[in-house]
Chain A
Amino acid sequence: MLRIDGLSHRYGEHAVLDDMTLEVAEGELVSIVGPSGCGKSTLLRCIAGLISPTSGRVTLDGTPVDGVPDGLAVVFQDYSRSLLPWLTVRDNVALPLRRRGKSKAERRAAADEALASVGLPDAGRKYPWQLSGGMQQRVSIARALAYRPSLLLMDEPFGSVDAQTREDLEDLVLRVHRTGGMTILLVTHDIDESVYVGDRVVVLGRNPGHIRAEIDVTLPPERDQIATRADAEFVRLRAEVGRLVRGAASGPVAA
Protein backbone atom coordinates (compact mmCIF):
# COMPACT_ATOMS: atom_id res chain seq x y z
CA MET A 1 0.00 0.00 0.00
CA LEU A 2 1.19 3.50 -0.89
CA ARG A 3 0.77 6.46 1.48
CA ILE A 4 1.62 10.03 0.70
CA ASP A 5 1.61 12.29 3.77
CA GLY A 6 1.73 16.08 3.62
CA LEU A 7 4.05 16.00 0.63
CA SER A 8 5.44 19.40 -0.41
CA HIS A 9 8.23 20.19 -2.79
CA ARG A 10 9.83 23.40 -3.91
CA TYR A 11 12.60 24.25 -6.36
CA GLY A 12 14.28 27.16 -4.63
CA GLU A 13 11.56 29.75 -4.05
CA HIS A 14 9.16 28.08 -6.47
CA ALA A 15 6.61 25.78 -4.78
CA VAL A 16 5.69 22.87 -7.03
CA LEU A 17 3.72 20.57 -4.72
CA ASP A 18 1.76 21.73 -1.70
CA ASP A 19 0.69 19.48 1.15
CA MET A 20 -0.48 16.45 -0.79
CA THR A 21 -2.01 13.53 1.05
CA LEU A 22 -3.11 10.42 -0.78
CA GLU A 23 -3.59 6.74 -0.12
CA VAL A 24 -3.52 4.07 -2.77
CA ALA A 25 -4.68 0.57 -1.89
CA GLU A 26 -2.85 -2.57 -2.96
CA GLY A 27 -3.87 -3.55 -6.50
CA GLU A 28 -5.63 -0.28 -7.24
CA LEU A 29 -5.25 1.57 -10.57
CA VAL A 30 -5.29 5.30 -9.88
CA SER A 31 -5.19 7.92 -12.63
CA ILE A 32 -3.67 11.26 -11.78
CA VAL A 33 -4.90 13.99 -14.08
CA GLY A 34 -4.28 17.70 -14.11
CA PRO A 35 -3.43 20.69 -16.25
CA SER A 36 0.15 21.27 -17.30
CA GLY A 37 2.25 22.74 -14.52
CA CYS A 38 0.39 20.98 -11.72
CA GLY A 39 3.49 19.04 -10.66
CA LYS A 40 2.36 15.60 -11.90
CA SER A 41 5.85 14.55 -12.91
CA THR A 42 7.41 15.91 -9.72
CA LEU A 43 4.89 13.93 -7.67
CA LEU A 44 5.78 10.77 -9.57
CA ARG A 45 9.50 11.35 -9.10
CA CYS A 46 8.99 11.85 -5.35
CA ILE A 47 7.12 8.55 -5.15
CA ALA A 48 9.85 6.82 -7.19
CA GLY A 49 12.49 8.14 -4.81
CA LEU A 50 14.27 9.92 -7.66
CA ILE A 51 13.96 13.23 -5.83
CA SER A 52 13.55 13.86 -2.09
CA PRO A 53 10.56 16.05 -1.26
CA THR A 54 11.16 19.25 0.68
CA SER A 55 8.74 18.05 3.36
CA GLY A 56 6.23 15.27 4.01
CA ARG A 57 6.85 11.66 3.24
CA VAL A 58 6.03 8.74 1.00
CA THR A 59 5.58 5.29 2.53
CA LEU A 60 5.45 2.13 0.47
CA ASP A 61 4.24 -1.02 2.27
CA GLY A 62 5.06 0.60 5.61
CA THR A 63 8.62 1.59 4.65
CA PRO A 64 9.45 5.28 4.09
CA VAL A 65 10.73 5.90 0.55
CA ASP A 66 14.34 7.05 0.64
CA GLY A 67 15.99 6.41 -2.69
CA VAL A 68 14.37 4.17 -5.30
CA PRO A 69 12.46 1.40 -3.47
CA ASP A 70 12.68 -2.22 -4.56
CA GLY A 71 9.69 -3.55 -6.46
CA LEU A 72 8.94 -0.25 -8.14
CA ALA A 73 9.03 0.25 -11.91
CA VAL A 74 8.50 3.36 -14.02
CA VAL A 75 7.30 3.71 -17.61
CA PHE A 76 8.48 7.10 -18.82
CA GLN A 77 6.77 9.20 -21.47
CA ASP A 78 9.86 9.48 -23.62
CA TYR A 79 10.38 5.84 -24.61
CA SER A 80 12.97 6.71 -27.24
CA ARG A 81 15.29 8.10 -24.56
CA SER A 82 14.47 5.59 -21.86
CA LEU A 83 15.19 2.50 -23.99
CA LEU A 84 18.91 2.06 -24.57
CA PRO A 85 19.70 2.13 -28.31
CA TRP A 86 22.83 -0.06 -27.96
CA LEU A 87 20.90 -2.98 -26.47
CA THR A 88 18.52 -5.25 -28.34
CA VAL A 89 14.87 -5.18 -27.33
CA ARG A 90 15.35 -8.37 -25.34
CA ASP A 91 18.40 -7.01 -23.51
CA ASN A 92 16.53 -3.80 -22.74
CA VAL A 93 13.69 -5.79 -21.20
CA ALA A 94 16.14 -8.02 -19.30
CA LEU A 95 18.18 -5.03 -18.05
CA PRO A 96 16.38 -4.60 -14.68
CA LEU A 97 16.74 -8.30 -13.91
CA ARG A 98 20.51 -8.07 -13.65
CA ARG A 99 20.25 -6.68 -10.16
CA ARG A 100 18.34 -9.73 -9.03
CA GLY A 101 21.17 -12.16 -9.67
CA LYS A 102 19.32 -14.26 -12.22
CA SER A 103 21.17 -16.38 -14.75
CA LYS A 104 21.34 -15.28 -18.36
CA ALA A 105 18.91 -17.99 -19.44
CA GLU A 106 16.40 -16.99 -16.74
CA ARG A 107 16.66 -13.34 -17.75
CA ARG A 108 16.10 -14.22 -21.39
CA ALA A 109 13.09 -16.36 -20.61
CA ALA A 110 11.56 -13.65 -18.43
CA ALA A 111 12.18 -11.03 -21.13
CA ASP A 112 10.63 -13.17 -23.85
CA GLU A 113 7.61 -13.86 -21.67
CA ALA A 114 7.14 -10.15 -20.93
CA LEU A 115 7.49 -9.28 -24.63
CA ALA A 116 4.89 -11.88 -25.57
CA SER A 117 2.51 -10.47 -22.96
CA VAL A 118 2.62 -7.02 -24.60
CA GLY A 119 2.06 -8.52 -28.05
CA LEU A 120 5.65 -8.38 -29.31
CA PRO A 121 6.76 -12.03 -29.22
CA ASP A 122 9.14 -11.68 -32.20
CA ALA A 123 10.77 -8.32 -31.50
CA GLY A 124 13.45 -9.54 -29.06
CA ARG A 125 16.34 -9.55 -31.48
CA LYS A 126 15.53 -6.18 -32.99
CA TYR A 127 16.79 -2.84 -31.73
CA PRO A 128 14.38 -0.29 -30.22
CA TRP A 129 14.97 2.23 -33.01
CA GLN A 130 13.80 -0.34 -35.55
CA LEU A 131 10.32 -0.27 -33.99
CA SER A 132 7.46 2.24 -34.25
CA GLY A 133 6.76 4.59 -31.33
CA GLY A 134 3.83 2.52 -30.08
CA MET A 135 5.90 -0.66 -30.20
CA GLN A 136 8.74 1.04 -28.34
CA GLN A 137 6.33 2.03 -25.58
CA ARG A 138 5.16 -1.61 -25.46
CA VAL A 139 8.79 -2.58 -24.94
CA SER A 140 9.11 -0.16 -22.00
CA ILE A 141 5.94 -1.66 -20.53
CA ALA A 142 7.39 -5.15 -21.04
CA ARG A 143 10.58 -4.03 -19.28
CA ALA A 144 8.54 -2.86 -16.30
CA LEU A 145 6.51 -6.10 -16.28
CA ALA A 146 9.58 -8.35 -16.46
CA TYR A 147 10.72 -6.65 -13.26
CA ARG A 148 7.48 -7.86 -11.58
CA PRO A 149 6.95 -4.64 -9.62
CA SER A 150 4.42 -4.31 -6.84
CA LEU A 151 3.99 -0.65 -7.81
CA LEU A 152 4.07 0.55 -11.41
CA LEU A 153 4.33 4.27 -12.12
CA MET A 154 3.46 5.53 -15.58
CA ASP A 155 4.38 9.10 -16.48
CA GLU A 156 2.15 10.23 -19.36
CA PRO A 157 3.04 6.99 -21.09
CA PHE A 158 0.87 7.54 -24.16
CA GLY A 159 1.55 11.24 -24.63
CA SER A 160 3.50 10.80 -27.83
CA VAL A 161 1.72 8.02 -29.75
CA ASP A 162 -1.17 8.28 -32.20
CA ALA A 163 -4.80 7.88 -31.14
CA GLN A 164 -5.30 4.29 -32.31
CA THR A 165 -2.08 3.11 -30.66
CA ARG A 166 -3.05 4.99 -27.55
CA GLU A 167 -6.32 3.07 -27.23
CA ASP A 168 -4.48 -0.24 -27.76
CA LEU A 169 -1.98 0.66 -25.06
CA GLU A 170 -4.73 1.73 -22.64
CA ASP A 171 -6.31 -1.70 -23.05
CA LEU A 172 -2.89 -3.29 -22.58
CA VAL A 173 -2.51 -1.48 -19.24
CA LEU A 174 -5.97 -2.64 -18.15
CA ARG A 175 -5.12 -6.23 -19.07
CA VAL A 176 -1.74 -6.08 -17.32
CA HIS A 177 -3.43 -4.67 -14.24
CA ARG A 178 -6.07 -7.42 -14.21
CA THR A 179 -3.65 -10.29 -14.71
CA GLY A 180 -0.63 -8.96 -12.80
CA GLY A 181 -2.51 -7.59 -9.79
CA MET A 182 0.03 -4.82 -9.23
CA THR A 183 -0.75 -1.30 -8.02
CA ILE A 184 -0.60 1.21 -10.87
CA LEU A 185 -0.35 4.99 -10.76
CA LEU A 186 -0.92 6.49 -14.20
CA VAL A 187 -0.24 10.17 -14.77
CA THR A 188 -1.99 11.70 -17.75
CA HIS A 189 -3.30 15.01 -19.03
CA ASP A 190 -6.05 13.26 -20.99
CA ILE A 191 -9.39 13.44 -19.16
CA ASP A 192 -11.04 10.58 -21.09
CA GLU A 193 -8.04 8.36 -20.51
CA SER A 194 -8.02 9.05 -16.76
CA VAL A 195 -11.63 7.86 -16.46
CA TYR A 196 -11.31 4.99 -18.95
CA VAL A 197 -8.37 3.24 -17.23
CA GLY A 198 -8.82 4.34 -13.60
CA ASP A 199 -10.50 2.71 -10.61
CA ARG A 200 -10.19 6.19 -9.15
CA VAL A 201 -9.24 9.57 -10.61
CA VAL A 202 -7.19 12.07 -8.63
CA VAL A 203 -7.51 15.59 -10.05
CA LEU A 204 -4.64 17.95 -9.37
CA GLY A 205 -4.78 21.74 -9.32
CA ARG A 206 -1.79 23.95 -9.97
CA ASN A 207 0.20 26.87 -8.55
CA PRO A 208 1.30 25.09 -6.54
CA GLY A 209 0.24 21.52 -7.29
CA HIS A 210 -2.37 20.21 -4.85
CA ILE A 211 -5.06 17.54 -4.78
CA ARG A 212 -8.30 19.11 -5.93
CA ALA A 213 -10.59 16.11 -5.90
CA GLU A 214 -10.71 12.32 -5.79
CA ILE A 215 -13.41 10.65 -7.82
CA ASP A 216 -14.29 6.96 -7.68
CA VAL A 217 -14.88 5.52 -11.10
CA THR A 218 -18.14 3.66 -10.73
CA LEU A 219 -17.79 1.67 -13.93
CA PRO A 220 -17.62 -2.11 -14.22
CA PRO A 221 -14.01 -3.38 -14.28
CA GLU A 222 -14.36 -4.73 -17.83
CA ARG A 223 -13.84 -1.73 -20.13
CA ASP A 224 -14.32 -1.47 -23.86
CA GLN A 225 -13.12 1.38 -26.03
CA ILE A 226 -16.48 1.76 -27.84
CA ALA A 227 -19.07 0.61 -25.30
CA THR A 228 -17.51 2.15 -22.17
CA ARG A 229 -17.02 5.52 -23.80
CA ALA A 230 -20.70 5.53 -24.83
CA ASP A 231 -21.85 4.56 -21.33
CA ALA A 232 -23.90 7.31 -19.61
CA GLU A 233 -21.89 6.93 -16.39
CA PHE A 234 -18.63 7.38 -18.35
CA VAL A 235 -20.01 10.52 -19.99
CA ARG A 236 -21.07 11.89 -16.61
CA LEU A 237 -17.68 11.12 -15.02
CA ARG A 238 -15.63 12.63 -17.80
CA ALA A 239 -17.75 15.79 -17.65
CA GLU A 240 -17.16 16.01 -13.90
CA VAL A 241 -13.42 15.40 -14.22
CA GLY A 242 -13.31 17.80 -17.15
CA ARG A 243 -14.96 20.59 -15.14
CA LEU A 244 -12.50 20.02 -12.28
CA VAL A 245 -9.47 20.04 -14.56
CA ARG A 246 -10.65 23.16 -16.40
CA GLY A 247 -11.47 24.82 -13.10
CA ALA A 248 -7.99 23.90 -11.93
CA ALA A 249 -6.46 25.34 -15.08
CA SER A 250 -8.34 28.64 -14.77
CA GLY A 251 -7.78 28.81 -11.02
CA PRO A 252 -5.67 31.45 -9.31
CA VAL A 253 -2.34 31.94 -10.99
CA ALA A 254 0.36 32.68 -8.46
CA ALA A 255 2.81 35.44 -9.25
Chain B
Amino acid sequence: MTALSAPRAMPSRLLRALLDRWLVLVVLVAAWEAAARSAGDVYFPPPSTIAERMRRLWFSGPASHLFLTGEATGNILPSLGRMAVALAISAAAGVALGMALGRSPRAHAYLNPVFEFARSIPPPTLVPLLMALFTLGTPMQIASIVLSALWPVLINTADGARTVDEQQIQTARVFRLTAAQRLRLVIFPAALPKIFAGLRLSLSLSLILMVFAELLPGTDNGIGFELTDAQSRSDLPTVWAVIVLLGILGYLLNAALTALERRVLAWHFAARRLPG
Protein backbone atom coordinates (compact mmCIF):
# COMPACT_ATOMS: atom_id res chain seq x y z
CA MET B 1 0.00 0.00 0.00
CA THR B 2 1.50 3.39 -0.93
CA ALA B 3 1.76 6.25 1.53
CA LEU B 4 -0.65 8.34 -0.57
CA SER B 5 -3.51 5.90 -0.38
CA ALA B 6 -2.99 5.10 3.30
CA PRO B 7 -5.28 7.75 4.85
CA ARG B 8 -8.19 6.57 2.72
CA ALA B 9 -7.49 2.90 3.22
CA MET B 10 -9.70 2.40 6.27
CA PRO B 11 -13.06 3.64 4.96
CA SER B 12 -12.57 2.11 1.54
CA ARG B 13 -11.64 -1.25 3.01
CA LEU B 14 -14.69 -1.15 5.26
CA LEU B 15 -16.86 -0.27 2.30
CA ARG B 16 -15.36 -3.07 0.29
CA ALA B 17 -16.01 -5.59 3.08
CA LEU B 18 -19.62 -4.42 3.31
CA LEU B 19 -20.01 -4.59 -0.45
CA ASP B 20 -18.49 -8.06 -0.62
CA ARG B 21 -20.89 -9.22 2.03
CA TRP B 22 -24.07 -7.77 0.70
CA LEU B 23 -23.46 -7.58 -3.03
CA VAL B 24 -24.57 -11.14 -3.72
CA LEU B 25 -27.76 -10.61 -1.74
CA VAL B 26 -28.52 -7.28 -3.46
CA VAL B 27 -28.00 -8.82 -6.91
CA LEU B 28 -30.19 -11.81 -6.06
CA VAL B 29 -33.01 -9.65 -4.72
CA ALA B 30 -32.81 -7.39 -7.77
CA ALA B 31 -32.96 -10.39 -10.10
CA TRP B 32 -35.89 -11.78 -8.10
CA GLU B 33 -37.70 -8.44 -8.36
CA ALA B 34 -37.20 -8.27 -12.13
CA ALA B 35 -38.22 -11.90 -12.69
CA ALA B 36 -41.28 -11.66 -10.44
CA ARG B 37 -42.46 -8.46 -12.09
CA SER B 38 -42.10 -9.80 -15.62
CA ALA B 39 -43.82 -13.08 -14.70
CA GLY B 40 -46.70 -11.38 -12.88
CA ASP B 41 -47.66 -14.63 -11.11
CA VAL B 42 -49.82 -14.14 -7.97
CA TYR B 43 -47.96 -16.98 -6.26
CA PHE B 44 -44.63 -15.18 -6.66
CA PRO B 45 -45.03 -11.55 -5.64
CA PRO B 46 -41.94 -9.33 -6.16
CA PRO B 47 -39.77 -8.54 -3.11
CA SER B 48 -40.98 -4.94 -3.07
CA THR B 49 -44.56 -6.16 -2.52
CA ILE B 50 -43.36 -8.54 0.21
CA ALA B 51 -41.40 -5.77 1.92
CA GLU B 52 -44.39 -3.45 1.77
CA ARG B 53 -46.59 -6.17 3.27
CA MET B 54 -44.06 -6.75 6.07
CA ARG B 55 -44.01 -3.05 6.83
CA ARG B 56 -47.81 -2.76 6.88
CA LEU B 57 -48.33 -5.94 8.89
CA TRP B 58 -45.69 -5.50 11.56
CA PHE B 59 -43.68 -2.28 11.40
CA SER B 60 -46.20 0.52 10.84
CA GLY B 61 -47.20 0.88 14.47
CA PRO B 62 -46.95 3.96 16.67
CA ALA B 63 -43.50 5.23 17.63
CA SER B 64 -44.38 4.62 21.29
CA HIS B 65 -44.42 0.87 20.49
CA LEU B 66 -41.12 1.02 18.57
CA PHE B 67 -43.24 1.09 15.37
CA LEU B 68 -44.50 -2.43 16.07
CA THR B 69 -48.13 -3.09 15.20
CA GLY B 70 -50.55 -5.06 17.34
CA GLU B 71 -50.16 -7.84 14.80
CA ALA B 72 -46.43 -7.92 15.49
CA THR B 73 -46.61 -7.83 19.29
CA GLY B 74 -49.46 -10.34 19.17
CA ASN B 75 -47.64 -12.89 17.01
CA ILE B 76 -43.88 -12.36 16.85
CA LEU B 77 -43.35 -11.76 20.56
CA PRO B 78 -45.28 -14.86 21.76
CA SER B 79 -43.34 -16.96 19.25
CA LEU B 80 -39.99 -15.61 20.38
CA GLY B 81 -41.04 -16.00 23.99
CA ARG B 82 -41.91 -19.68 23.55
CA MET B 83 -38.69 -20.24 21.68
CA ALA B 84 -36.64 -18.48 24.37
CA VAL B 85 -38.23 -20.49 27.19
CA ALA B 86 -37.79 -23.76 25.29
CA LEU B 87 -34.18 -22.95 24.42
CA ALA B 88 -33.42 -22.03 28.04
CA ILE B 89 -34.90 -25.32 29.26
CA SER B 90 -32.98 -27.25 26.59
CA ALA B 91 -29.72 -25.51 27.45
CA ALA B 92 -30.08 -25.98 31.21
CA ALA B 93 -31.17 -29.62 30.99
CA GLY B 94 -28.73 -30.41 28.18
CA VAL B 95 -25.73 -28.99 30.03
CA ALA B 96 -26.67 -30.64 33.33
CA LEU B 97 -27.35 -34.07 31.81
CA GLY B 98 -24.43 -33.75 29.41
CA MET B 99 -21.95 -33.03 32.22
CA ALA B 100 -23.19 -36.06 34.17
CA LEU B 101 -23.03 -38.20 31.06
CA GLY B 102 -19.58 -36.96 30.09
CA ARG B 103 -17.94 -37.34 33.50
CA SER B 104 -19.37 -40.69 34.48
CA PRO B 105 -18.38 -43.62 32.27
CA ARG B 106 -21.10 -45.65 33.94
CA ALA B 107 -23.83 -43.07 33.26
CA HIS B 108 -22.57 -42.86 29.70
CA ALA B 109 -22.69 -46.62 29.25
CA TYR B 110 -26.21 -46.86 30.64
CA LEU B 111 -27.80 -43.77 29.14
CA ASN B 112 -26.11 -43.22 25.80
CA PRO B 113 -28.19 -45.84 23.93
CA VAL B 114 -31.35 -44.31 25.40
CA PHE B 115 -30.37 -40.82 24.26
CA GLU B 116 -29.30 -42.01 20.81
CA PHE B 117 -32.69 -43.70 20.52
CA ALA B 118 -34.64 -40.68 21.75
CA ARG B 119 -32.89 -38.17 19.56
CA SER B 120 -33.49 -40.11 16.38
CA ILE B 121 -37.26 -39.92 16.84
CA PRO B 122 -38.62 -37.12 14.64
CA PRO B 123 -40.47 -34.75 17.03
CA PRO B 124 -43.62 -34.53 14.85
CA THR B 125 -44.24 -38.23 15.47
CA LEU B 126 -44.44 -37.50 19.18
CA VAL B 127 -47.29 -35.04 18.78
CA PRO B 128 -50.07 -37.50 19.73
CA LEU B 129 -48.12 -38.39 22.87
CA LEU B 130 -47.42 -34.76 23.70
CA MET B 131 -51.07 -33.89 23.25
CA ALA B 132 -51.92 -36.48 25.87
CA LEU B 133 -49.14 -35.40 28.25
CA PHE B 134 -49.34 -31.61 28.09
CA THR B 135 -52.00 -28.96 27.99
CA LEU B 136 -52.76 -27.88 24.43
CA GLY B 137 -51.21 -24.56 23.56
CA THR B 138 -48.01 -23.14 24.97
CA PRO B 139 -46.94 -26.05 27.26
CA MET B 140 -47.19 -28.53 24.42
CA GLN B 141 -45.46 -26.16 21.99
CA ILE B 142 -42.57 -25.69 24.39
CA ALA B 143 -42.37 -29.44 24.97
CA SER B 144 -42.09 -30.16 21.27
CA ILE B 145 -39.32 -27.56 20.83
CA VAL B 146 -37.41 -28.91 23.85
CA LEU B 147 -37.64 -32.50 22.63
CA SER B 148 -35.71 -31.46 19.55
CA ALA B 149 -33.40 -28.72 20.79
CA LEU B 150 -32.22 -30.66 23.84
CA TRP B 151 -30.10 -33.24 22.01
CA PRO B 152 -27.40 -31.15 20.33
CA VAL B 153 -26.58 -29.38 23.63
CA LEU B 154 -26.67 -32.61 25.60
CA ILE B 155 -24.50 -34.64 23.24
CA ASN B 156 -21.97 -31.85 22.65
CA THR B 157 -21.72 -31.10 26.38
CA ALA B 158 -21.14 -34.78 27.14
CA ASP B 159 -18.45 -34.88 24.46
CA GLY B 160 -16.79 -31.73 25.83
CA ALA B 161 -16.90 -32.97 29.42
CA ARG B 162 -15.52 -36.36 28.44
CA THR B 163 -12.55 -34.96 26.53
CA VAL B 164 -11.18 -32.53 29.14
CA ASP B 165 -7.37 -32.54 29.04
CA GLU B 166 -6.06 -35.13 31.51
CA GLN B 167 -3.39 -32.67 32.65
CA GLN B 168 -6.09 -30.19 33.71
CA ILE B 169 -7.92 -32.89 35.66
CA GLN B 170 -4.68 -33.92 37.38
CA THR B 171 -3.96 -30.30 38.26
CA ALA B 172 -7.39 -30.06 39.90
CA ARG B 173 -6.71 -33.29 41.80
CA VAL B 174 -3.25 -32.26 42.96
CA PHE B 175 -4.58 -29.02 44.41
CA ARG B 176 -7.45 -30.94 45.99
CA LEU B 177 -10.34 -28.97 44.55
CA THR B 178 -13.73 -30.22 45.74
CA ALA B 179 -15.93 -32.01 43.20
CA ALA B 180 -18.08 -28.89 42.85
CA GLN B 181 -15.05 -26.64 42.32
CA ARG B 182 -13.62 -29.08 39.79
CA LEU B 183 -16.89 -29.03 37.87
CA ARG B 184 -17.32 -25.25 37.96
CA LEU B 185 -13.71 -24.12 37.51
CA VAL B 186 -12.24 -26.81 35.29
CA ILE B 187 -14.66 -29.16 33.54
CA PHE B 188 -17.42 -26.68 32.66
CA PRO B 189 -15.10 -24.03 31.15
CA ALA B 190 -13.15 -26.73 29.32
CA ALA B 191 -16.38 -28.02 27.79
CA LEU B 192 -17.73 -24.54 26.91
CA PRO B 193 -16.48 -24.42 23.30
CA LYS B 194 -18.34 -27.65 22.55
CA ILE B 195 -21.39 -26.47 24.54
CA PHE B 196 -21.60 -23.43 22.28
CA ALA B 197 -21.30 -25.61 19.17
CA GLY B 198 -24.31 -27.56 20.50
CA LEU B 199 -26.21 -24.38 21.36
CA ARG B 200 -25.82 -23.09 17.82
CA LEU B 201 -27.43 -26.26 16.43
CA SER B 202 -30.15 -26.13 19.10
CA LEU B 203 -30.93 -22.53 18.23
CA SER B 204 -31.63 -23.23 14.57
CA LEU B 205 -33.59 -26.36 15.47
CA SER B 206 -35.72 -24.46 17.95
CA LEU B 207 -36.62 -21.83 15.32
CA ILE B 208 -37.79 -24.60 13.00
CA LEU B 209 -39.67 -26.39 15.76
CA MET B 210 -41.21 -23.12 16.94
CA VAL B 211 -42.94 -22.69 13.57
CA PHE B 212 -43.85 -26.35 13.50
CA ALA B 213 -45.31 -26.26 17.01
CA GLU B 214 -47.52 -23.33 16.06
CA LEU B 215 -49.07 -25.38 13.28
CA LEU B 216 -50.39 -27.79 15.91
CA PRO B 217 -53.96 -27.65 17.20
CA GLY B 218 -54.61 -25.34 20.12
CA THR B 219 -52.67 -22.41 18.64
CA ASP B 220 -54.25 -18.99 18.29
CA ASN B 221 -51.20 -16.77 17.82
CA GLY B 222 -47.58 -16.87 16.73
CA ILE B 223 -45.60 -16.64 13.52
CA GLY B 224 -46.51 -20.18 12.49
CA PHE B 225 -50.16 -19.49 13.18
CA GLU B 226 -49.99 -16.35 11.03
CA LEU B 227 -48.48 -18.45 8.24
CA THR B 228 -51.23 -21.09 8.22
CA ASP B 229 -53.85 -18.40 8.63
CA ALA B 230 -52.57 -16.48 5.58
CA GLN B 231 -52.34 -19.73 3.64
CA SER B 232 -55.98 -20.58 4.34
CA ARG B 233 -56.96 -17.11 3.08
CA SER B 234 -54.73 -17.50 -0.03
CA ASP B 235 -52.98 -14.31 1.08
CA LEU B 236 -49.71 -14.99 -0.75
CA PRO B 237 -47.88 -11.74 0.06
CA THR B 238 -48.38 -12.44 3.78
CA VAL B 239 -47.16 -16.04 3.38
CA TRP B 240 -44.02 -14.69 1.74
CA ALA B 241 -43.68 -11.96 4.35
CA VAL B 242 -43.68 -14.62 7.10
CA ILE B 243 -41.06 -16.69 5.27
CA VAL B 244 -38.77 -13.66 4.87
CA LEU B 245 -39.34 -12.70 8.52
CA LEU B 246 -38.27 -16.19 9.63
CA GLY B 247 -35.10 -15.91 7.57
CA ILE B 248 -34.27 -12.55 9.12
CA LEU B 249 -35.01 -13.82 12.64
CA GLY B 250 -32.78 -16.85 12.08
CA TYR B 251 -29.96 -14.63 10.88
CA LEU B 252 -30.28 -12.17 13.78
CA LEU B 253 -30.56 -14.85 16.48
CA ASN B 254 -27.52 -16.68 15.15
CA ALA B 255 -25.58 -13.41 14.98
CA ALA B 256 -26.52 -12.67 18.60
CA LEU B 257 -25.39 -16.13 19.75
CA THR B 258 -22.13 -15.79 17.82
CA ALA B 259 -21.49 -12.42 19.46
CA LEU B 260 -22.12 -13.94 22.90
CA GLU B 261 -19.80 -16.85 22.07
CA ARG B 262 -16.99 -14.49 21.00
CA ARG B 263 -17.36 -12.69 24.29
CA VAL B 264 -17.58 -15.70 26.59
CA LEU B 265 -14.94 -17.71 24.72
CA ALA B 266 -12.50 -14.86 24.05
CA TRP B 267 -9.81 -16.90 25.85
CA HIS B 268 -10.50 -19.87 23.62
CA PHE B 269 -10.16 -17.99 20.35
CA ALA B 270 -7.12 -16.05 21.52
CA ALA B 271 -5.36 -19.07 23.04
CA ARG B 272 -5.82 -21.02 19.84
CA ARG B 273 -5.00 -18.00 17.70
CA LEU B 274 -8.26 -18.36 15.85
CA PRO B 275 -9.82 -15.24 14.41
CA GLY B 276 -11.64 -13.83 17.45
Contacts and interface: CB of A to CB of B under 8 A. Distances in A.
Interface string A145-174: 001000000000000000000000000000
B174 A85 contact: no
Interface string A196-231: 000000000000000000000000000000000000
A129 B270 contact: yes
B103 interface: no
Contacts of A99: 175-178, 181
B268 A85 contact: yes
B64 interface: no
Given A95-B185, A129-B270, A129-B271, A82 B177 contact: no
Contacts of A147: 175
Given A95-B175, A96-B175, A99-B175, A85 B267 contact: yes
A48 B172 CA distance: 13
A137 B176 CA distance: 20
Contact of A84 (B168, B178, B181): B168
B2 interface: no
B177 A98 contact: yes
- What is the interface of chain B mostly: helix, strand, loop, or mixed? helix
B271 A127 contact: yes
A50 interface: yes
A68 B167 contact: no
Contacts of A74: 170-171, 174
A72 B167 contact: no
Contact of A72 (B174, B178, B192): B174
Nearest to A85: B271
A76 B186 CA distance: 17
A225 to B, nearest CB: 30
A68 B185 contact: no
A149 B171 CA distance: 15
A28 interface: no
Interface in A180-198: none
B173 interface: yes
B78 interface: no
B165 interface: yes
A81 to B, nearest CB: 4
Residue among A70, A78, A98, A127 with most chain B CB within 10 A: A98
Interface residues of B, number: 21
Contact of B270 (A81, A84, A127): A127
B184 to A, nearest CB: 10
Contacts of B178: 99
A81 B271 CA distance: 11
Contact of A50 (B170, B268, B270, B271): B170
A68 B270 contact: no
Interface string A46-89: 00101000000000000000001010111010100110111100
Nearest to A48: B174
B74 interface: no
Contacts of A73: 174-175
B189 interface: yes
A50 B171 CA distance: 10
B167 A82 contact: yes
B170 A78 contact: no
A33 B67 CA distance: 76
Contacts of A95: 175, 177, 185
A73 B170 CA distance: 11
Residue among B165, B168, B175 with most chain A CB within 10 A: B175
Given A129-B270, A129-B271, A86 B189 contact: yes
Interface string B249-276: 0000000000000000001101100000
Interface string B180-219: 0100011001101000000000000000000000000000
B189 A84 contact: yes
Contacts of A130: 270
Contact of B173 (A68, A98, A127): A68
Contacts of B170: 50, 74, 76, 82
Contact of B267 (A70, A76, A81, A86): A86
A98 B181 contact: yes
A68 B176 contact: yes
Given A73-B175, A99-B175, A78 B167 contact: yes
10 contacts: A50-B170, A68-B174, A74-B174, A78-B167, A81-B165, A86-B192, A86-B268, A95-B175, A96-B177, A98-B177
For the complex of A and B, list the 10 residue pairs with the smallest distance between their C-beta atoms, beginning with the closest.
Answer: A96-B175, A81-B167, A129-B271, A86-B189, A85-B271, A74-B174, A86-B267, A82-B171, A99-B176, A85-B267
Given A74-B171, A84-B186, A147-B175, 4 more contacts: A50-B173, A72-B174, A96-B177, A127-B271
